Amino acid sequence: MKICGLMNPKDVGLCIHAGVHMFGFVVEYPVTVPWNLTKVEAGELIQQAPPFVSTCVVTGGSIEKILDIVTETCPNVVQLHYKETLQEVREIACQLKLRGIKTIKALRLDGEGKCDFEITNPVMAARELAKTGVSAILVDSYTPSRPGGTGVTPDLATFRIIQQESILPVILAGGLNQANILPLVQQTHPYAVDVLSGVEEIPGHKDPEKVIGFMRNVQSLAIKDIDK
């Protein structure tokens, strides 16, 4: 369970209390989004994460820029969430692996189920990404007005096809909230889930009730699986 778009110590503390597994920080994203942090701001928040909680920098852009962000922030994971080419993904994943950092690549699907990527077919894109050294694929929705945090759930049929064809773990993101997370997880059985706007009061500020409710619902599924 990853909660993304954390921007302040209060929300980091909320996620610690709720038992969130991974904290996501949007850092110097190439286009304007409500959750953007500077390298310094992100680095300070990342240092507040307790042991056994993973930290993830969500960013995009040139190889040099991303490696510089990583040097300044020291996350456990980097999520490439922009228009990186296949070759750039391969080079970044290789460089990060040398530093002991894992890479997630987002496949952002538009309303027609096509990827905002050089390979528009999501199945072919997933197959090629598996050869780059990334550790997981995150399937998210995409709209021209907002590259992430859209509040729109990606096409589930396409998500399931990517799962079937990918040798990598596949993470579900986009349009998740405490009301729909149970049926969505039951339908798709993702490796992990990633929520941003679905647990917010306003962009950049998490809603404690929504965060706790979201986590409680996901954890209830985990308990049922253990009971089986």
Predicted confidence at residue 39, as pLDDT, reads 97
> By C-alpha distance, which of 32, 36, 45 is closest to 74?
45
Tell me the DSSP string of 68-110.
HHHHHH--SEEEE-S---HHHHHHHHHHHHHTT-EEEEEEEE-
Mean pLDDT, the chain, integer: 93
Average pLDDT over residues 175-186: 95
Average pLDDT over residues 24-49: 97
Least confidently predicted of 18-22, 23-27, 112-116, 192-196 = 112-116
CA distances from 120 to 1, 63, 129, 134, 205 (A): 27, 22, 13, 18, 33
Check whether 224 has a pLDDT greater than 70: no
Q: Report all structural domains of the chain as residue ranges with CATH numbers, in order of start.
A: 2-227 (3.20.20.70)
Confidence of residue 149 (pLDDT cuts 50, 70, 90): low
